[in-house]
A and B are shown apart, each in its own frame.
Chain A
Amino acid sequence: MIEANLRVTIGDIIFKNPVLTASGTFGYAKEFAPYVNLHHLGGVVVKGISLEPRRGNPPPRIVETAGGMLNAIGLENVGLDRFITEKMPYLRGIGTKVIVNILGDSLEEYQTLAQHLSEIEGISALEVNISCPNVKKGGVAFGTDPAMAEAVTQAVCAHSSLPVIVKLSPNVTDIAQIAKAVEAGGAQAVSLINTLLGMAIDVKSRRPRLANIVGGLSGPAIKPIALRMVWQVAQAVKIPVIGIGGITTTEDALEFLLAGATAIEVGTANFVNPRVSQEIVEGLVRYVTENKLDGISEVIGGLIVD
């Protein structure tokens, strides 16, 4: 690869480039080893981990929609213990930053996860999924209430020595308000957006296409919404923003950087083209070289509004 300065900094972490892979779309990285030189990536955000293994939702779990897909996987994962013993040994050797996405249904679960993972070697940061329902608060998602979002952020930060990134749900009226709340709670960065709640119906059977009835929409279809939210949040907070939502090409990634994102995560596009994350890194190298930039950081927040 041609030398180009793609380095970006989030909190104390220096990423070799701003291209990360989104949680739940890249497995535990090994799945993509036949397709991607993992060490070329800026980082990998692994499939969300809960304290205990989760079975996930019954099938059907996914449905294709125009320019996107709906999923209701239900956070199926191997749980903390198996993650540490079975997945971490491989992840330590992939030559890029490993960010562990965590999820829970109580503050205590988030705290315990944060505490345990802080003691594990080879993890660069935690990404906190706050789109989960808080069982003790009537199932309202942590991420839809500013006070609860702040509380869960504080809980994780207090029990972790790792930098904490909070992943925001777009299913809120004012995402900037939630972003400010998690910034106040001590988050080193925010990542957004998680999937948008959606639905599809089979008109022949008159039944929902997902067993869970509703699911999260992702893919190119959501990119304009994600970009708008990243731009709004980048203006509202001082901490770095990681852009997620329908990123499929180098140009998509550049749009998010211009809107104010310091890094980006590639999600659903990994399913469509397993090499896409590496191709976006290569695309950014070309962009920096062709435009004779000192580095990709020149692009960040470079949106011109007349």
Chain B
Amino acid sequence: MNQCEERAEIVRQEQLTAEIFRLTLKAPQIASNARPGQFVMVQTSPCYDPLLRRPLSIHQTIGNEQVQLLYKVVGKGTRILAALTPGQKLNLTGPLGHGFDLAGKQAICLVGGGMGIAPLYFLAREILRATTPPKCIVLLGARTASELGSLPRDFMDIGATETHIATDDGSRGHHGFVAELLPQHLGPDHQWTVCTCGPHPMMKGVVSQCRAQDWECQVSLETMMACGIAACLGCAIPRADLSGPYLHVCKDGPVFRAEEVAWL
């Protein structure tokens, strides 16, 4: 078990869009052990208001020293995060859970929606770092272009040249849902592995296309979570057959094979 608690010093806080921020922290123990798809629990307030830590997926590690988190301001906890400045400290526990498993895959497609893009960047970097990287297509979706900001550029910059965009309002790229891009870009000449993270309806759409095409699919799920270390058992989700013991997102996930879980 490589997880630990770390008082991480804030190196950089960047505002990418009106609501999206990127926080870079010095957390060498977590950085040196993290795998794409894993997450950290962030204590936003030392005064217990809000009480619980916030689970955030790791956006990337930089060297063996730094951890980067991408988050959207949605409530009290993330508002506190957004106000932090370099030099301040933040208590993190991690790296937690199981990440993506892409060993030996020849053709990979990453499908991210909204903040679900966060862990896929770490994954894309890892995939493209290989001496002979597998084929890698990146599909990014958001409600509007302004929600994506410079994220597509970041993927292009690390060599994900086949990065395509969809927006709900058509303000950038394909006008429609990101899942609709799959048949367009995933040709029949490869056995695809699709990795997806984003809002539940989006992932559900991706999963049903993968099932129809017989593509392997790995999904990164998000639930309410109190502890992140399988003590509270609050993050239960039903198995595909809706019977047997529940799966727990923090310990069994957050990345699952799509066929393991129920798509209700």
Residues of A that sit less than 8 Å from B by CB = 24-27, 31-35, 53, 55-56, 58-64, 66-69, 71, 73, 76, 219-220, 248, 268, 270-275
Contacts and interface: CB of A to CB of B under 8 A. Distances in A.
27 contacts: A26-B231, A27-B230, A32-B231, A34-B1, A34-B4, A55-B245, A55-B246, A59-B223, A59-B236, A59-B237, A59-B238, A62-B224, A62-B234, A64-B50, A64-B52, A67-B48, A67-B49, A69-B52, A71-B234, A76-B246, A220-B48, A268-B51, A270-B231, A271-B52, A271-B226, A273-B43, A274-B229
Q: Is the interface of A mostly helix, strand, loop or mixed?
A: loop
B14 to A, nearest CB: 27
Interface residues of B, number: 31
B234 A73 contact: yes
Contact of B233 (A32, A53, A73): A73
5 nearest A-B residue pairs (beta carbon): A62-B234, A271-B227, A27-B231, A271-B226, A31-B231
Contacts of B50: 64
B68 interface: no
Contacts of B3: 34
B126 interface: no
Contacts of A274: 5, 93, 227, 229
Interface in B179-225: 223-225
Contacts of B224: 59-64
Contacts of B164: none
Contacts of B4: 34-35
B232 interface: yes
A244 B91 CA distance: 26
Given A67-B48, A274-B227, A61 B233 contact: yes
B48 A56 contact: no
Question: Taking each of A26, A64, A248, which has the highest tally of chain B beta carbons within 10 Å of its own beta carbon?
Answer: A64
A154 B52 CA distance: 39
A128 B149 CA distance: 55
B251 to A, nearest CB: 9
Contacts of A53: 245
A219 to B, nearest CB: 6
Given A271-B227, A272-B53, A273-B43, A56 B236 contact: yes
A27 B231 CA distance: 4
B5 A272 contact: no
A272 B48 contact: yes
Interface string B37-80: 00000010000111111000000000000000000000000000
Given A60-B223, A62-B226, A64-B50, 18 more contacts: A32-B229, A35-B4, A35-B93, A56-B233, A59-B235, A61-B236, A62-B232, A66-B49, A68-B51, A69-B52, A69-B226, A73-B233, A73-B234, A76-B233, A271-B52, A271-B226, A274-B5, A275-B5
